[in-house]
Structure 1
Amino acid sequence: MTLELIAEVVPRPEQRPFFLFGLDCTSIERQFAKTLADRGMVHQATQIAGNKPIAIGHSYSMLAVIPERNEGDAPWTIPLEMSRVSTDSNSTQKGIAQLNVVLNNPNLPWSKELCVAVVDSAYGNKQFLSPLQQQKNLVILARSRSNRVFYQSPVISETPAHRGHPTWYGARFDLKEPDTWHEPTEVSHLSYKTRRGRTIKATINAWSNMLMRGGKALPTQLFPFTLLRIESVDEFDQSLFRPMWLIVIGERRGQLSALQAHQSYRQRFDLEHSFRFQKQNLLLTTFETPDVEHEQQWVKFVMLAYIQLWAAHSIAVALPRPWEKHLIPLPFTRISPSKVQQDWFRIISQLGSPAVSPKTRGYSSGRKLGQIQSRRPRLPVIKKRKSPASVPKFAA
């Protein structure tokens, strides 16, 4: 029921012919919560060179709708589901479960529409891509590491062989070795300006019907995809970033052009802005409790609060401080979540609250005389170890 209520504030796309979803994980550090269950090693950025970017805590996976954004609009996302990734699972399995729940609900507006999910390189593997091929209206746009090896589709002979295993893969396509690349199927060019006025020219090379090595349990070789290579230069033709590789996989991937794929993946970074706002302004990581269920309820509460801000962004008025002249928004542009939060008191005062006024219900009797509270047990940090098959064997 909660998902259907959230879908009522999701706008239908007008500029692009598909709904855009974003999937990513964020961590909540709980290093000193020794009585909190199911803590593990999570990613935590650090500015100290040489330190590993890890911490002890919980990881949460968020699936959100990324609405269309015009020039000058602030980045927003509309969270649909945000839940904890347990230590006996991983972000890939949790993301698959979240997408299946959202796409299999026939009461949602995108149940029969084309949907595109953008994910980073942590999801660009066969463990994530292969199980989701059962979703016929889903196209996954995943970033690929630059050291991957893919294959061309095999050439089907007119006289099939009578012996041996059928050919699954064609010529080798190593992303690090340009000599193994064949001629791209399509080449596109575009130019755009950043918010600071910098002009960036991008060249997109597309190779269709590429294959990823699979197996019996995950037959990724049965699902061809389109491989994109995006190279960006400035106005002086100087390279700005390392070339980016994208995987476009899905039965309806032909309905997504290379330019739409590039624009959609660029908007994936709106998820990072949402995580930062939830942590800094909505206190996502500030709530401390020794109960896992209470922490999960707090995360859902923060998610619903963010959705409330999105629902009120159209009636909010930007009220910049006297020293924030550079933050004055242009007319007909979408203001940021922080500006909606600043105007929230005025909005809620005009709309009112359906809750009744609090009433005194008496005083609690408290603990009984002589009652002793037992200490909570100290729980260990769960560390995932490599499987025995991956550990090298040494001679005795």
Structure 2
Amino acid sequence: MHHARDAAAFRELSALRQEFYRCLTRRADALFELTDAVLCADGPTRSIAELSLIGEHRRGHGSGYAALARGQVDFDRLRTALAAVSLPRAADGRLVLAVDVTCWLRPEAHTCPQRILCHTYGRGKDQHIMVPGWPYSVVVALESGRHSWTAPLDAVRLAPGDDAASVTARQIRDVVNRLITAGHWSPGDPEILLVADAGYDGPRLAHVLADLPIIVLVRMRSDRVLRRPAPPLRPGPSPGRPARHGAEFAFGDPNTWGEPDSTLETTTRLYGPARIRAWDRLHPKLTSRTAWASHTGDLPILDGTVILLQVERLPSGAIPKPVWLWHSRTSLTHAEVDLAWQAFLRRFDIEHTFRMLKQTLGWTTPKLRSPDAADRWTWLLLTAYTQLRLARDHTIDLRHPWERPRPTRRLSPARIRRGFRNLRPQLDCPARVPKPSRPGTGRPPGLPNHQPAIRHDVHTVTSTNKQKPKRGNKAKSTNPRPRRTG
């Protein structure tokens, strides 16, 4: 039984490599071998040229940059190929998706177009600095278990002027439709759960994606104020318009909470004792501004369930803060509340995926000038990461002497990568042998470049990043920050 399952996974990995090669419509051999060089390297990727020193890369040191600059990749077909492979599921059998934005910072790349000011965390002492770069919205499928594996499904670069909320909604819709087409979801299956952090407008996503079999679970800031359902109308005539919103539910004021509809207490391995409380049928009070400015008619009432998670400790030793979650479904059972907060904690696996892409596979290492070349390099690494995930049951653990042995299902992506070179000869390698050629003459010595590259400005004002006008020399207000009601 296990041998049949392993053989099927092995065939799936070879089929993905064949389909990946067919998605490379121009300079396919160089792009394919560049991906294999990333998978078979002994250490972190430090430059594209150094990948030519690896035995699996049979071309010159300039072929990698040339393939990224002038190659072509069928992104739609590659998205379909990644959505067709086997995907992880939660304990109840449902698909759990996570979406987040990560940035490829290019602060000194003045000749790179379409750079946007990206919000960075932890640069300096308690400073959040805006750095120019290319932001990417990435969607992955989360997996349960004591590891940090994810299944990348899509990556979209945010262009200047893009609305992050609209791009995310369109991206999630395309991903869900591809999953349905691939047979990962059919009528009668549990709804797909989408998990996001506080930077996303959960009620807005739930409203836009209401026609899809998807549940939205997002974290909310601790200063939010939601509303309860409107009280029933009193009998008899009443002056004025009927109320659409009930009493306030302020996250920062426990006096407004009332008794929770559901309470759970459990003990976790990393966080110690945890207490989970849930309040049913709470909604934000929407206003005809920002994302709802173009909405016609009355603004909708988007009821959901608010979940408060409180733990005793954090693995880093920091003081834990309460976590507020908004679930797009109402009347949740105890089992659904228990699944919701655990699914949100699994969202942090996407951060480990970003770290793997950047620090080990070298996503932000090459100094590419064109954003199109950056898109090609991004998709090469997403495909490489998917190959590592499919190969984790077939590679041998080549651990260092100071590393502890681990079960095969708990090996990290970096340790799976060490043994991929031994697995590669057994897989399909459709790349052709390079033809012998002579390098070009290049620029004659002493002849300067008379066509300097065009310098591009950084796009500082977009629909999601608008700078407020300066207030001159007026002193900063000392009034407390108003509560957010939207």
TM-score range, shorter chain: 0.7 to 0.9
Letter of the 1:344 counterpart: F
Match of 1:282 in 2: 361
Equivalent residues of 1:117, 1:141 under 8 A apart: yes
Name the SS of the counterpart of 2:452 in structure 1. coil
Aligned partner of 2:285: which letter? Answer: R
Is residue 2:281 matched to residue 1:204?
A: no
Q: Which amino acid aligns with 2:391?
A: A
- Equivalent residues of 1:138, 1:252 under 8 A apart: no
1:78 is aligned to: 151
Aligned partner of 2:104 among 10, 28, 35? 28
1:263 corresponds to which residue?
342
TM-score (norm. length: structure 1):
0.86
Q: Any idea what SS the aligned residue of 1:228 has? A: strand
1:255 offset after TM fit, Å?
9.7
Instruction: Give the 3-state SS of the residue equivalent to 2:273 in structure 1.
Output: strand
Match of 1:119 in 2: 196
Q: What corresponds to 2:165 in structure 1?
A: 92
Q: Deviations over 1:46-85 (max 9, x none)?
A: 452154333111111100111222xxx3211111111211
Per the alignment, residue 108 of structure 1 pairs with: 182
Q: Which moved more, 1:283-292 or 1:151-160?
A: 151-160
Deviation of 1:365 after TM superposition, in Å, equals: 6.4
Larger deviation: 114-123 or 331-340? Answer: 331-340
Where 1:121 maps in the other structure, the secondary structure is coil
Equivalent runs, 1:1-396 vs 2, <5 Å: 1-11=77-87, 13=89, 15-49=91-125, 51-69=127-145, 73-105=146-178, 106-112=180-186, 113=189, 114-124=191-201, 126-135=203-212, 137-157=213-233, 159=235, 164-194=240-270, 200-215=272-287, 217=292, 221-233=300-312, 240-250=319-329, 257-325=336-404, 328-329=405-406, 331=407, 333-361=409-437, 363-364=439-440, 373-384=450-461
Q: Is the contact made by 1:209 and 1:225 (CA closer than 8 Å) also made in structure 2?
A: yes
Q: Please identify, of 352-361 and 375-384, the stretch whose mean Cα deviation from structure 2 is larger.
A: 352-361
SS in 2 for 1:201: strand
The structural deviation recorded for 1:359 is 1.4
Decide whether the 8 Å contact of 1:10 with 1:78 is kept in 2.
no
The 1:170–1:367 alpha-carbon spacing in structure 2 relative to 1, beyond 3 Å, is same
Of 313-322 and 18-27, the range deviating more from structure 2: 313-322
Secondary structure at 1:227 match in 2: strand
Quote the offset at 1:29 in angstroms.
Answer: 1.0
CA deviation digits over 1:59-118, x for unaligned, max 9? 11100111222xxx3211111111211120143222111101112334133443410011
Q: Which runs of 5+ in 2 are unaligned?
A: 1-76, 473-486
Distance 2:364 2:306 in 1: 38
Query: Given the superposition, is the C-alpha separation of residues 208 and 251 from structure 1 closer, same or farther in structure 2, using an over 3 Å criterion?
Result: closer
Q: 1:118 to 1:173 in 2, by over 3 A?
A: same
Tell me, in whole angstroms, the C-alpha distance in 2 between the residues paired with 1:388 and 1:77.
33
Whole-angstrom distance in 2 between the partners of 1:86 and 1:160:
56
Measure the CA separation in 1 of the matches of 2:120 and 2:127: 11
Partner of residue 476, structure 2: none
Q: Is contact 1:77-1:274 (8 Å) kept?
A: yes
SS in structure 1 at match of 2:199 = helix
Do the aligned partners of 2:90 and 2:143 also contact (CA within 8 Å) in 1? no
The 1-side partners of 2:122 and 2:467 are apart by 32
* Deviation of 1:337 (Å): 0.4
Counterpart contact for 2:276–2:310, Cα < 8 Å: yes
Which whole-Å deviations, capped at 9, do the CAs of 1:280-308 have from their partners, x for residues lacking one?
11110011122111111111111111111
Q: Name the structure where helix makes up a greater proportion of residues.
A: 2
What secondary structure is seen at the aligned counterpart in 2 of 1:96? Answer: helix
More strand by percentage: 1
Match of 1:211, as an amino acid? H
Name the SS of the counterpart of 2:133 in structure 1: strand
Q: What is the Cα deviation at residue 372 of structure 1?
A: 6.1
Q: 2:35: which partner in 1?
A: none
Letter in 1 for 2:344: Y
Q: Is the 8 A contact 2:226 2:285 kept in 1?
A: yes
In angstroms, what is the RMSD of aligned CA positions?
Answer: 3.1
Write the letter of the residue equivalent to 2:401: P
Normalised by the length of structure 2, the TM-score is 0.71
Deviation string, structure 1 residues 245-301 (Cα, Å, up to 9, x no partner):
100014896697111011100100000000000001111001112211111111111
User: Could you tell me how far apart the structure 2 residues matched to 1:303 and 1:295 are?
Assistant: 12
Preserved contact between residue 311 and residue 320 of structure 2 (Cα < 8 Å)? yes
Q: CA deviation at 1:334?
A: 2.7
Instruction: Give the number of equivalent residue pairs.
Output: 381
Which letter maps to 2:252?
K
Q: How much identity, in percent, do the aligned residues show?
A: 23
1:164 shift after superposition: 3.2
1:166, distance to aligned residue in structure 2 (A) = 3.0
